[in-house]
Amino acid sequence: MAEFDLDGIGMTSQRTRDRLVKRLRERGIASEQVLGVIGSVPRHIFIDEALAHRAYEDTALPIGHNQTISQPFIVALMTQALFNRPRAVVLEIGTGSGYQTAVLAALAEKVYTVERIAPLIERAAARFRALKLRNVRMRNADGNVGWADQGPFDSIIVTAAARHVPGALYDQLAIGGRLVIPVGDEGLQELLIIDRDDAGFSEQSLEHVRFVPLLRGTRN
Protein backbone atom coordinates (compact mmCIF):
# COMPACT_ATOMS: atom_id res chain seq x y z
CA MET A 1 0.00 0.00 0.00
CA ALA A 2 1.26 3.42 -0.91
CA GLU A 3 1.82 6.40 1.31
CA PHE A 4 1.93 9.87 -0.13
CA ASP A 5 5.03 11.98 -0.15
CA LEU A 6 3.51 15.36 0.59
CA ASP A 7 6.68 17.35 1.18
CA GLY A 8 6.01 20.73 -0.28
CA ILE A 9 2.97 19.72 -2.37
CA GLY A 10 0.25 18.92 0.07
CA MET A 11 0.43 20.71 3.35
CA THR A 12 -1.02 24.05 2.34
CA SER A 13 -4.14 22.47 0.91
CA GLN A 14 -4.93 20.24 3.89
CA ARG A 15 -7.69 22.51 5.15
CA THR A 16 -9.50 22.59 1.80
CA ARG A 17 -9.18 18.80 1.56
CA ASP A 18 -10.71 18.48 5.03
CA ARG A 19 -13.67 20.56 3.84
CA LEU A 20 -14.10 18.26 0.82
CA VAL A 21 -14.08 15.21 3.12
CA LYS A 22 -16.75 16.82 5.29
CA ARG A 23 -18.90 17.40 2.22
CA LEU A 24 -18.49 13.81 1.00
CA ARG A 25 -19.47 12.57 4.44
CA GLU A 26 -22.61 14.75 4.29
CA ARG A 27 -23.39 13.31 0.86
CA GLY A 28 -23.35 9.80 2.31
CA ILE A 29 -19.82 8.42 1.89
CA ALA A 30 -19.43 6.34 5.05
CA SER A 31 -16.14 4.48 4.59
CA GLU A 32 -13.58 6.08 6.92
CA GLN A 33 -10.88 4.31 4.93
CA VAL A 34 -11.96 6.01 1.71
CA LEU A 35 -12.53 9.39 3.38
CA GLY A 36 -9.05 9.14 4.88
CA VAL A 37 -7.49 8.60 1.48
CA ILE A 38 -9.44 11.45 -0.17
CA GLY A 39 -8.24 13.61 2.71
CA SER A 40 -4.62 12.77 1.94
CA VAL A 41 -4.31 12.68 -1.87
CA PRO A 42 -3.39 16.14 -3.23
CA ARG A 43 -5.98 16.44 -6.03
CA HIS A 44 -4.56 19.80 -7.14
CA ILE A 45 -1.49 18.19 -8.67
CA PHE A 46 -3.75 16.18 -11.01
CA ILE A 47 -5.22 19.34 -12.53
CA ASP A 48 -3.72 21.99 -14.82
CA GLU A 49 -2.43 24.99 -12.93
CA ALA A 50 -5.07 27.34 -14.32
CA LEU A 51 -7.82 25.26 -12.67
CA ALA A 52 -5.94 24.02 -9.62
CA HIS A 53 -7.67 26.51 -7.33
CA ARG A 54 -10.87 24.52 -7.93
CA ALA A 55 -9.28 21.16 -7.11
CA TYR A 56 -11.19 20.64 -3.85
CA GLU A 57 -14.60 21.54 -5.19
CA ASP A 58 -16.80 18.48 -5.56
CA THR A 59 -16.89 18.73 -9.32
CA ALA A 60 -15.43 17.15 -12.47
CA LEU A 61 -12.91 19.38 -14.29
CA PRO A 62 -11.39 19.30 -17.81
CA ILE A 63 -7.93 17.70 -18.20
CA GLY A 64 -7.51 18.23 -21.97
CA HIS A 65 -8.12 15.84 -24.90
CA ASN A 66 -11.88 16.18 -24.25
CA GLN A 67 -11.52 14.26 -20.99
CA THR A 68 -12.29 15.10 -17.37
CA ILE A 69 -11.00 14.28 -13.92
CA SER A 70 -13.93 12.61 -12.16
CA GLN A 71 -15.96 14.35 -9.48
CA PRO A 72 -14.60 13.49 -5.98
CA PHE A 73 -18.01 12.18 -4.86
CA ILE A 74 -18.04 9.68 -7.72
CA VAL A 75 -14.42 8.66 -7.04
CA ALA A 76 -15.33 8.10 -3.38
CA LEU A 77 -18.53 6.22 -4.24
CA MET A 78 -16.80 3.88 -6.71
CA THR A 79 -13.82 3.31 -4.41
CA GLN A 80 -16.10 2.57 -1.48
CA ALA A 81 -18.03 0.05 -3.60
CA LEU A 82 -14.82 -1.56 -4.84
CA PHE A 83 -13.26 -1.91 -1.38
CA ASN A 84 -16.27 -3.39 0.41
CA ARG A 85 -13.55 -5.89 1.37
CA PRO A 86 -9.77 -5.80 0.95
CA ARG A 87 -8.70 -6.06 -2.70
CA ALA A 88 -5.03 -6.74 -3.38
CA VAL A 89 -4.75 -6.42 -7.16
CA VAL A 90 -6.83 -3.84 -9.02
CA LEU A 91 -7.27 -3.10 -12.72
CA GLU A 92 -8.39 0.39 -13.73
CA ILE A 93 -9.55 1.26 -17.24
CA GLY A 94 -9.26 5.01 -17.99
CA THR A 95 -6.28 6.49 -16.11
CA GLY A 96 -7.11 10.05 -17.21
CA SER A 97 -5.42 12.42 -14.76
CA GLY A 98 -4.36 9.54 -12.51
CA TYR A 99 -6.30 10.84 -9.50
CA GLN A 100 -8.54 7.78 -9.12
CA THR A 101 -5.43 5.63 -9.65
CA ALA A 102 -3.64 7.32 -6.75
CA VAL A 103 -6.68 6.75 -4.52
CA LEU A 104 -6.69 3.06 -5.48
CA ALA A 105 -2.93 2.79 -4.91
CA ALA A 106 -3.42 3.84 -1.29
CA LEU A 107 -5.81 0.93 -0.69
CA ALA A 108 -4.50 -1.90 -2.88
CA GLU A 109 -1.18 -3.70 -3.07
CA LYS A 110 -0.89 -3.24 -6.80
CA VAL A 111 -2.78 -1.17 -9.36
CA TYR A 112 -2.69 -1.80 -13.11
CA THR A 113 -4.10 1.10 -15.10
CA VAL A 114 -4.85 1.37 -18.83
CA GLU A 115 -5.34 4.61 -20.80
CA ARG A 116 -5.83 5.00 -24.56
CA ILE A 117 -4.46 8.59 -24.85
CA ALA A 118 -0.65 8.54 -24.64
CA PRO A 119 -0.03 12.12 -23.38
CA LEU A 120 -2.40 11.55 -20.45
CA ILE A 121 -0.35 8.49 -19.44
CA GLU A 122 2.84 10.56 -19.48
CA ARG A 123 1.39 13.30 -17.34
CA ALA A 124 -0.09 10.83 -14.86
CA ALA A 125 3.26 9.01 -14.65
CA ALA A 126 5.02 12.26 -13.69
CA ARG A 127 2.46 12.82 -10.91
CA PHE A 128 2.97 9.30 -9.55
CA ARG A 129 6.72 9.94 -9.52
CA ALA A 130 6.19 13.19 -7.60
CA LEU A 131 4.08 11.31 -5.04
CA LYS A 132 6.62 8.45 -4.98
CA LEU A 133 3.86 5.96 -5.75
CA ARG A 134 5.58 2.71 -6.60
CA ASN A 135 2.74 0.20 -6.81
CA VAL A 136 1.18 1.43 -10.06
CA ARG A 137 1.81 -0.04 -13.52
CA MET A 138 0.54 1.78 -16.58
CA ARG A 139 -0.17 0.83 -20.15
CA ASN A 140 -1.15 2.82 -23.22
CA ALA A 141 -3.76 0.53 -24.77
CA ASP A 142 -7.45 0.01 -25.46
CA GLY A 143 -8.90 -1.08 -22.13
CA ASN A 144 -11.80 -2.91 -23.78
CA VAL A 145 -9.55 -5.98 -23.74
CA GLY A 146 -8.42 -5.51 -20.12
CA TRP A 147 -4.85 -6.57 -19.31
CA ALA A 148 -4.92 -10.31 -19.89
CA ASP A 149 -1.43 -11.33 -18.81
CA GLN A 150 -1.73 -9.66 -15.37
CA GLY A 151 -5.17 -11.00 -14.49
CA PRO A 152 -7.24 -12.28 -12.83
CA PHE A 153 -7.90 -9.13 -10.79
CA ASP A 154 -9.51 -8.88 -7.36
CA SER A 155 -11.33 -5.84 -8.61
CA ILE A 156 -11.77 -3.90 -11.83
CA ILE A 157 -12.91 -0.28 -12.12
CA VAL A 158 -13.87 1.40 -15.39
CA THR A 159 -13.94 5.20 -15.34
CA ALA A 160 -15.53 5.73 -18.77
CA ALA A 161 -19.04 4.78 -19.87
CA ALA A 162 -19.43 1.49 -21.74
CA ARG A 163 -22.43 0.59 -23.90
CA HIS A 164 -22.02 -2.99 -22.73
CA VAL A 165 -19.68 -4.58 -20.24
CA PRO A 166 -16.63 -5.73 -22.26
CA GLY A 167 -16.44 -9.53 -22.19
CA ALA A 168 -12.72 -9.52 -21.39
CA LEU A 169 -13.41 -7.79 -18.09
CA TYR A 170 -15.72 -10.61 -16.99
CA ASP A 171 -13.00 -13.10 -17.96
CA GLN A 172 -10.28 -11.26 -16.03
CA LEU A 173 -12.28 -10.87 -12.80
CA ALA A 174 -11.17 -13.30 -10.07
CA ILE A 175 -13.66 -15.52 -8.23
CA GLY A 176 -14.72 -13.34 -5.28
CA GLY A 177 -13.86 -10.28 -7.35
CA ARG A 178 -15.90 -7.15 -8.01
CA LEU A 179 -16.23 -4.99 -11.13
CA VAL A 180 -17.56 -1.41 -10.95
CA ILE A 181 -18.51 0.11 -14.31
CA PRO A 182 -20.82 2.82 -15.69
CA VAL A 183 -23.01 1.31 -18.42
CA GLY A 184 -25.32 3.18 -20.77
CA ASP A 185 -25.30 5.68 -23.62
CA GLU A 186 -23.80 9.16 -23.75
CA GLY A 187 -26.43 10.99 -21.73
CA LEU A 188 -26.83 8.98 -18.59
CA GLN A 189 -25.49 5.70 -17.31
CA GLU A 190 -26.07 3.31 -14.48
CA LEU A 191 -23.16 2.55 -12.20
CA LEU A 192 -23.15 -1.25 -12.06
CA ILE A 193 -21.54 -3.43 -9.42
CA ILE A 194 -20.84 -6.91 -10.74
CA ASP A 195 -19.69 -9.62 -8.32
CA ARG A 196 -18.25 -12.96 -9.29
CA ASP A 197 -18.50 -16.06 -7.12
CA ASP A 198 -18.25 -19.83 -7.73
CA ALA A 199 -21.75 -19.86 -9.20
CA GLY A 200 -21.17 -17.00 -11.66
CA PHE A 201 -21.89 -13.27 -11.87
CA SER A 202 -24.46 -11.13 -10.08
CA GLU A 203 -25.26 -7.50 -10.78
CA GLN A 204 -26.69 -4.52 -8.91
CA SER A 205 -27.17 -0.90 -9.87
CA LEU A 206 -25.79 1.74 -7.52
CA GLU A 207 -26.58 5.16 -8.97
CA HIS A 208 -27.14 7.16 -12.14
CA VAL A 209 -23.91 8.76 -13.35
CA ARG A 210 -22.46 10.68 -16.29
CA PHE A 211 -19.08 9.67 -17.65
CA VAL A 212 -17.22 10.37 -20.89
CA PRO A 213 -17.55 7.41 -23.28
CA LEU A 214 -15.33 4.34 -23.33
CA LEU A 215 -13.87 4.52 -26.84
CA ARG A 216 -12.00 2.06 -29.03
CA GLY A 217 -8.35 2.03 -30.08
CA THR A 218 -5.46 4.19 -28.89
CA ARG A 219 -4.38 7.80 -29.59
CA ASN A 220 -0.98 9.47 -29.62
Binding site for ligand SAH (CB under 6 A): 67-70, 93-94, 96-97, 99-100, 114-117, 120, 142-144, 159-160, 212, 214-215
Residue type present at position 37: V
Minimal distance in Å, beta carbon 219 to ligand SAH? 8
Kindly provide the b/e burial profile for residues 133-153, where b requires at least 16 CB atoms within 10 angstroms of the residue's own CB. bebbebbbbbbbebbeeebbb
**CB of 7 or CB of 164, closer to ligand SAH:** 164
Residue nearest to ligand SAH (CB): 96
**CB of 136 or CB of 212, closer to ligand SAH:** 212
Minimal distance in Å, beta carbon 95 to ligand SAH? 6
Minimal distance in Å, beta carbon 70 to ligand SAH? 4
Alpha-carbon span 76 to 73, nearest angstrom: 5
Our separate counts of H helices and E strands in the chain read 6, 9
Minimal distance in Å, beta carbon 198 to ligand SAH? 30
Q: Which of 13, 31, 40, 70 is catalytic?
A: 70
Closest to 17 (Cα-Cα) out of 9, 82, 94, 68: 9
Radius of gyration of the chain from Cα atoms?
Answer: 16
- How many other C-beta atoms lie within 10 A of the C-beta of residue 200? 9
- How many other C-beta atoms lie within 10 A of the C-beta of residue 178? 22
Alpha-carbon span 184 to 134, nearest angstrom: 34
**CB of 21 or CB of 124, closer to ligand SAH:** 124
Is 70 a catalytic site residue?
A: yes
**CB of 167 or CB of 202, closer to ligand SAH:** 167
Residues catalogued as catalytic: 70
